[in-house]
Amino acid sequence: MTLSMPPSEEPSIFAYHLLKCALGAFAQPPAALDASALARARDMARKTLAIEDLVLSSVPADFVRARPGAVAGALQDVQARYAGRADFLRVLADNALNEDMLATALRRELRFDAILARIAERTPPVTAREIAAYYDANPNLFHMPETRTARHILVTVNPDYPENAAPAARRRIDTIRGGLGDGLTAFAAAAQAHSECPSALEGGILGRVARGQLYRELDAVLFVLDAGEISAVVQSELGYHIVLCEDIHPGRDISLDEAAAAIGEKLTRRRRHGAQRDWIAGLSRTASPTPSLQEIDT
């Protein structure tokens, strides 16, 4: 889409967009970016500013103002991200901004968001028929795979420490395995006493896991154990493990009734975003070119 519109008259507004895009895309302020990343951030900022200018010059914008106190609240939210007021003001100055400039940029942003919210509110509600159609068309999204509640005991392998060199670690884990009694209580006690994983503090609990969440060696063993069964010694890149399958939770299909609310929210978001995009595209098609045009391809 090509947006044609006069740029904002305030350089500080672009500075705000540049800072926001740099932090959003690269988690760094513009001054910390290399030339390539800075060029990308500037391009993104030009585009977001162009869209903001276009929306704020639309007819609905004439009837939308920031709520009383909203700008002050937004300023407080931004300042709260920094260690103190001095740090906050320093960051603003480093990015060609001051508190008044930031307030102006935030006021524009709040109006922009409010206008788009009004456009989104015009969309018709999602119907039960649409929800059911989405459910029927996407059966793979509504199946809960089998999961298992697992515990383990770990002895790590680390050649820098004699007691954790591979042969010594293997002897230790074999001794632990040989001394294990049956049942959860005995396993949890052994994990607390011997495991070198942080989970030892909670009896070796790994929680409820699906296939593919653990190291593949553990995964392969866990999902063939019966509930309550303890594995033989298993080796992974961390070291040696003993695995307990505490419980098996069979996979099942999620019913339409269970999924309906989440589907409705997803379709509503999609519909509202689509309405906003279409409305902005319509504005860009009717924007009047002027000698001071800035043309931005998105």
pLDDT digits (tens, 9 = 90+) for 146-157: 999 999 999 999
pLDDT at 107 over 90: yes
Averaged pLDDT of the chain: 91
Pairing of the two strands 239-249 and 147-156: antiparallel
Closest CA to 70 of 114, 26, 133, 126: 114
CATH architecture, range 2-126+262-290: Orthogonal Bundle (1.10)
The answer to whether residue 291 scores a pLDDT higher than 70 is: no
Q: Are 126 and 135 in contact (CB under 8 A)?
A: no
pLDDT-derived band at 170, boundaries 50, 70, 90: very high
Give the pLDDT confidence score for residue 60 in this predicted structure: 84
Share of the chain above pLDDT 90, in %: 87
Provide the pLDDT for residue 298. 34
Per residue in 184-224, pLDDT tens?
Answer: 999 999 999 999 999 999 999 999 999 999 999 999 999 99
Q: pLDDT at residue 8 above 80?
A: no
What are residue 2's DSSP bridge partners?
297
pTM exceeds cut of 0.75: no
Reported confidence tier of residue 182, pLDDT bands at 50, 70, 90: confident
CA distance linking residue 63 with residue 176, whole number of Å:
73
Q: For position 266, what pLDDT does the model report?
A: 98
Q: What is the pLDDT of residue 19?
A: 96
Domain ranges of the chain: 2-126+262-290, 147-249
CATH number for the domain formed by residue range(s) 147-249:
3.10.50.40
The residue with greater pLDDT, 121 or 3, is: 121
Domain 2-126+262-290 matches domain 147-249 at the CATH topology level: no
pLDDT digit string, tens, across residues 225-250: 999 999 999 999 999 999 999 999 99
pLDDT of residue 213: 96
Sequence-ordered alpha helix ranges (H) in the chain: 11-26, 35-56, 70-79, 85-94, 99-121, 128-137, 166-179, 184-194, 216-222, 256-286
7-11, 71-75, 158-162, 247-251: the lowest-pLDDT one? 7-11
Q: What is the DSSP string of 99-126?
A: HHHHHHHHHHHHHHHHHHHHHHHTSPPP
Range in 155-159, 249-253, 294-298 the model is least confident about: 294-298
Q: Report the pLDDT value the prediction gives residue 3, as an integer from 0 to 100.
A: 40
Model confidence at 288, pLDDT cuts 50, 70, 90, reads: low
